[in-house]
Amino acid sequence: MKLFSFLSLLAAATALPAANDLAPRASISKVNGLKFNIDGVTKYYAGTNSYWIPFLTNDNDVDVIMGHLKTSGQKILRIWGFNDVKTIPGSGTVYFQSFSGSTATINTGANGLQRLDAVVKAAEKHSIKLIINFVNNWTDYGGMAAYFSACGVSSNAQWYTTTKCQSLYQAYIKAVISRYRASTAVFAWELANEPRCNGCQTSVLTDWIRQTSNYIRSLDSDHLIAIGDEGFGLAGDGSYPYQFGEGLDFAANLALPNVSFGTFHLYPSAWGTTNAWGNAWITAHAKVCAQLKKPCLFEEYGVTNAADHCPVEGEWQKTSLAAKDAGMAADLFWQLGDTVKSTGQQTHNDGHTIYYGSSDWTCLVDKHVKQIG
């Protein structure tokens, strides 16, 4: 710290090029072939998910956690950029958008999007790159279901195809993008968390993804755009996740011109597959990404049995990293855990959580970051 400020002073005084090299200039993240270019560096990247960090109410808590990610060599952090409610909670509780009658109101107050501002600011400070997600398929933090009565529908399938739902959703997207349009801390905008349309023709989601990615591109010509899906619907062993029944066609969606890279998740216990099955799931996606010449992000993965965290997820990380010249660009485990400084409380343990400073962290973060180099 001392050394750095001394050199910065020196750089300011004499403009030594060597001192400038110490901190790469922040820039908007890009795709470079089958990889990501972050702040000018093209390589494989590691990161994690924290749905909860925008819901913390203390700026310093956010800053401390971002600092932990930085010192651990974690680069990409995926967060919930939504928090939709149908009933306005008590004053201390964070929410971003509320629905009443046929209208939606975006909360730009201190317990609203200002919390997301604090996350973006801390990410800028620590050179962490954020994936900001706009809506949940699931009902956690509201989701598409929170919009239902305002836009007169009763299912996710209708939500994707009903103009009123989509105009409310797009208004929310616009409100978020306009706040961080120029930020180098935004890695990508993301359409939804795990969008599905069970039993629908895959054209329903493909059309919605085309429409939404084009809309985002019309607002922001620079930042990357991703879907946030589980990666269902592609050639493989024919087991449930490879099937098209959840309304997803991985290759058709990734081929859309304003989708910048592919996303997929991995939860064998929820999908009725084995943990070892996950390795072929990773390479199957890499193959499609390589064919379509877009990078693949292994965006969420987890096993609930704590004893399996390190061996099983460590194996998946190796498989992904081994495909770094064949379509895989980065992986983000689900999910980050830490101790909130102001309260001394640990963040949500959903069984998948990997806590900063734990032995799982040593294995799945420190070791992995070292392997990446």
Ligand X SMILES: *[C@@H]1O[C@H](CO)[C@@H](O)[C@H](O)[C@H]1NC(C)=O
Cite the active site residues: 194, 300
Helix ranges restricted to H, the chain: 2-14, 17-20, 59-71, 113-126, 144-151, 156-161, 163-180, 202-219, 250-254, 268-271, 277-292, 306-308, 314-322, 359-361, 367-372
User: At 67, which amino acid appears?
Assistant: G
Q: Which stretch binds ligand X (CB under 6 A): 21-29, 192-200, 225-233, 272-280?
A: 192-200
The one among 79, 123, 131, 145 contacting ligand X by CB under 6 A: 145
The one among 42, 57, 72, 214 contacting ligand X by CB under 6 A: 214
Tokens of 101: 């009658």
Scanning residues 77 to 136, which ones bind ligand X (CB under 6 A)? Answer: none
The one among 35, 115, 126, 196 contacting ligand X by CB under 6 A: 196
DSSP label at residue 347: P
Tokens of 102: 């046929």
138 counts as binding ligand X under rule CB under 6 A: yes
For ligand X, the closer of residues 105 and 218 by Cβ is 218
139 counts as binding ligand X under rule CB under 6 A: yes
267 counts as binding ligand X under rule CB under 6 A: no
Q: How far is the CB of 211 from ligand X (least distance, A)?
A: 9
Q: Write down the residue that tokens 């589980």 correspond to.
A: 230
Q: Which stretch binds ligand X (CB under 6 A): 30-38, 190-198, 235-243, 287-295?
A: 190-198
The one among 178, 198, 342, 349 contacting ligand X by CB under 6 A: 198
The one among 74, 97, 133, 137 contacting ligand X by CB under 6 A: 137
Element (H, E) at 30: strand 30-32
For ligand X, the closer of residues 258 and 358 by Cβ is 258
Got the DSSP string for 114-172? Answer: HHHHHHHHHHHHHT-EEEEE--BSSSTTS-HHHHHHHHT--SHHHHHH-HHHHHHHHHH
Q: Write down the residue that tokens 């990889």 correspond to.
A: 35
202 counts as binding ligand X under rule CB under 6 A: no
156 counts as binding ligand X under rule CB under 6 A: yes
Give yes or no for a contact between 114 and 107, defined as CB atoms under 8 angstroms apart.
no
Q: How far is the CB of 334 from ligand X (least distance, A)?
A: 17
218 counts as binding ligand X under rule CB under 6 A: yes
258 counts as binding ligand X under rule CB under 6 A: yes
**Chain center to CA of 292:** 21
The one among 257, 307, 344, 373 contacting ligand X by CB under 6 A: 257
The one among 66, 197, 254, 332 contacting ligand X by CB under 6 A: 197
Q: Write down the residue that tokens 């969008």 correspond to.
A: 195
In angstroms, the CA 116 to CA 274 distance is 37
Of 316, 337, 315, 319, nearest in space to 327 by CA: 319
76 counts as binding ligand X under rule CB under 6 A: no
Q: How far is CA 253 from CA 209, 219, 356, in A?
A: 7, 20, 35
Instruction: Tell me how many residues contact ligand X (CB under 6 A).
Output: 14
Residues in the chain: 373
Which residues form the interface with ligand X (CB under 6 A)? 137-139, 145, 156-157, 196-198, 214, 217-218, 257-258
